[in-house]
Copies of this chain bind each other. A is one copy, B any other.
Amino acid sequence: MTENGSTRRGSWRLTAVGLGPGDPELVTWKGVQAIRQAQLVFVPRSRDGERSLALRIAEPWLDRARQTIVELPLPMTRDPETLLLAWRAAADGLVQAFQARDPSGQEAIQGVYLLLGDPLLYGTFTPIWRELGQRHPTIQVTVIPGVTSFAAAAAKARWPLATTSDRVAILPASYETDAAALARLLQDFDTVILMKAGPVLPRLLASLAELELLDQAFYAERVGMPEERLVMDLRSLPPEPAPYLSLLIVGKGRG
Contact = CB atoms under 8 A, between A and B. Distances in A.
A101 interface: no
Contact of A29 (B29, B163, B167, B254): B29
A143 interface: yes
B26 A27 contact: no
Interface stretch (A1-9, A104-112, A169-177, A202-210): A169-177
Interface residues of A, number: 54
Interface centre among A18, A143, A165, A172 (most CB of B within 10 A): A143
Contacts of A126: 160, 163
Interface string A139-178: 0011111111001101100111111111111111011000
A168 B148 CA distance: 14
A24 B33 CA distance: 13
B145 A151 contact: yes
A21 B174 CA distance: 31
A160 B118 CA distance: 10
Contacts of A160: 120, 126, 129
A32 B26 CA distance: 10
Contacts of A127: 163
A151 B146 contact: yes
A162 B28 contact: no
Contact of A165 (B29, B152, B161, B175): B175
Nearest to A171: B167
Closest 6 CB pairs of A and B: A25-B30, A143-B155, A145-B151, A167-B171, A168-B170, A126-B160
Interface of A: 18, 20-21, 23-30, 32-33, 78, 118-122, 126-127, 129-130, 141-148, 151-152, 154-155, 158-172, 174-175, 189, 254
Given A145-B147, A167-B175, 13 more contacts: A25-B33, A28-B28, A118-B161, A120-B151, A120-B161, A120-B162, A122-B163, A141-B158, A142-B155, A143-B155, A144-B155, A145-B148, A145-B155
